[in-house]
Structure 1
């Protein structure tokens, strides 16, 4: 059993009190061994005074011991229990806070990062890569004709499609890429240290992978395509302008017929 530091200090205090009591008792017993006629009247008076003094000290030591054991120690134990409860409550609240923070940054349907996380990560990557002078790529993806999937097959099937696309994106991206669902059928991938040419090849692989997926709805195999807009950070623009530039390329891909990458 491990004791709280306050309890350990109290035990040391009690041991000191007991030692003082033992010494006092020994001194009192020693004085009792002095014969009454062995000292002159003045010495006898002094011995009697020391006896009374040692008796008083013994009473004080016994009182301190009594109050320590029956009053002070219970207060220490109560304080220790309350401190343990507060510590447990703090741990619990901290865990809940982390869970809530995780929930606040995670898309509940797909389990990937959400728009809030994406916005923060994009700004952080831009700030860091500006410092080291390296490129940051961005792709915005939007599933083609997704509303028809929901209208024809129902929202449950639509959710299955979104989960399948999220799994595909997470499986194809690198560990340091940021993959997020921005909302609805729109996704985004931040690709640090990737400039225009490799970004375009990467986006084509993702587009082909999504187009090659098959999501089952009863006996029907659903084929999904996606349009992708790309941009590479120009080294000066803020995150909002960077995102809007990639978003404009996405709409250009939609305008040109969908199921394509536009940069």
Structure 2
């Protein structure tokens, strides 16, 4: 078997032999799988803590303070983990609804949270969170059809779920109007109705819908300026801080509408537009 030498100062490692390369690659794949499963367990436990409202018993003012002090993460990061767990759970239920059991997998691909491991990235699970009803309907339909055709091998199940997720991620966020004037008129009407009829839940709901639509449109502009592969800090540093200043908006709101445009999840707008 070929061996690898430590590099001399200023040098580089000699290339690994084939056996070493295969061994290291296998180890890397195993480590990545372990990390993905661990991340899913973390997301599941954060969701459970949020459901149990643990911050109340521990004397914190809210979920954000609890996440910051006890977990060392921001409120937004904690919510992203919850989104991941909810997306994975919804897919797990869709798989079960189609009659596919976890033990279909020859490797028993489940994690400690009891969720089937579909090999999806955290980002993918996050980005489809706002459209779970649509996603689970498609997954259930396709898996049911595959089951009827006798095509329920585990590789086929993973491929079907992965394709459905990829398709949804590529679809643009549905628009709520045709032009800027449509948005402005709709929002103005909704605001007037809500002011005149504050007890009318339908009027309030329409106002929320219009504000979310306005946030989606602004978020699409933010995404055009700062593409999805930029981190939020990179987006701010490159252009969004200047953009926010130019339109008289704060950077927190700009980042929130960008998240909404990425995910379609209205909770991204909480504390800003909503």
- Whether TM exceeds 0.5 here: the answer is no
More strand by share: 1
State the TM-score bracket (shorter-chain normalisation): under 0.3
Q: Which structure has the higher relative contact order (CA within 8 Å, separation 6+)?
A: 1
The TM-score, its normalising length taken from structure 2, stands at 0.19
Larger radius of gyration: 1
